[in-house]
Amino acid sequence: MREIVIVVADLYLEPEPAGPTPIAAPAADAALPVDSAGAAAGAGAAPGLEHLARFAERKALPEGWRAWVARWAGLPEYAGEAPASVAAAPLAAALADRSVWLATPLHLLAGLTSLHFDRRSILRLARPEIEELGASFRETFGDSGFDLQPLAGGELLLSGPAGSARSRTTEPARLLLTSIDEALARGEGAAALRRLSTEIEMWLHAHPLNARRARRGAPVVASLWLWGGGEALIAPPRASRELRDVAFGSDAYVRGLWRLAGGETRPMPVDFAAVVGEVGAPRALGVVEVGELLQTEASWRLAHAMAEIDRRLISPALAALHRGELERLTLLANDRCLTVRAADRWRRWRRRRSALEGLA
């Protein structure tokens, strides 16, 4: 295999402050020991990520990771498409002449005067839950001209009249860098989209699904964040294209991109050691989310989740690189691209960096 690309899709960090001090993991995420089994029992143990921070070639991604992945996969024609347009590809037959938006379930924290977003706020719902929301939405909003359909991976897709997806929206993971009010839809068509969002919040407030989630101690769905809007793609999948690269994970954009190329994504493996030996696959892409790990481990913070991503994905791939089984390892996160080759580890004059410093 020539290359493994790992995307941490929801990792965004605050900009580096002015002055000589580099950004590092927050003090609350300071290094703690790792248990004897190698799992992230404490924060900060991320030797693979630290290696990348020190030795990798680093580039900014002004268009974000999705456009980079589209070009990397040999699909540059989709690099400029809206995330929802690409994510809608598996449902293309039912969405002809429709506008589409990704509808991401959010759990928001109530403050004294406003609602707050943190790294656990993005929810990935079970398939029965998103199917229930889709059916319930049709019953409640049937005359609105909008529809809500489940996507694999725990999100939903909102569709509406053609030409209605002109407003500027914000990816939910980027809410960490701004306030919710500042991230609301702007521009043409924004007023209608914001009204619909408010109506959805009122509908969710009394929804039986949330009552059941609250009883079992699960975070309730306060909102469906509508973003990434565009027109549904009517181009047929490129079934004639020889797609040899493999993609892992449940990200809606990557699933749609692979469908447009005539392929299918696969479930994320436990670690990438097995992926390296994939027969006939020259390159592999894996997409993970910090928030999904934080949802499953209530006591974890950011550095715990990054240590787990390192243990499962980055370090096994890096070991394969040093054994000569890979040519390149690339990490995409925080609008940065870090690429390392085996020979780069001999550049010992490069100073050591903390795990997150290379992504700042």
Report the side by side order of strands in the sheet with 223-231. 147-150, 156-161, 98-106, 223-231
**pLDDT for 31:** 32
Residue 337's H or E segment, with its range, is: strand 336-340
Of 255, 196, 222, the closest CA to residue 125 belongs to 222
Task: Tell me how many degrees the CA angle 293-107-103 measures, rounded to the nearest 5.
Answer: 90
> Around Cβ 35, how many Cβ atoms within 10 Å?
10
**Domain residue ranges of the chain, discontinuous segments joined by +:** 3-79+237-359, 83-231
Mean pLDDT by 10 residues, the chain (360 residues): 93 66 36 34 74 92 97 94 94 85 92 78 96 96 92 94 91 90 90 94 96 95 96 68 83 94 88 74 93 92 93 93 92 96 71 77
Single-letter amino acid, residue 47: P
**pLDDT for 35:** 35
DSSP secondary structure, 211-258, as one string: HHHHHTTPPP--EEEEEEEEEPP-SPP-TTS----EEES--HHHHHHH
Tell me the β-bridge partners of 332.
Answer: 7, 337
**pLDDT for 276:** 77
* Beta strand 3-8 pairing with 223-231: unpaired
**pLDDT for 273:** 76
Q: What is the dihedral of CA 346, 347, 349, 351, to 10 degrees?
A: -100
DSSP secondary structure, 264-288, as one string: --BPPPS-THHHHT-TT-SEEEEEE
Distance CA 166, CA 6 (A): 31
Phi, psi of 86 (to 5 degrees): -70, -45
Single-letter amino acid, residue 28: A
Q: Is 211 helix (H, G, I), strand (E, B) or coil?
A: helix
Global pTM exceeds 0.75: yes
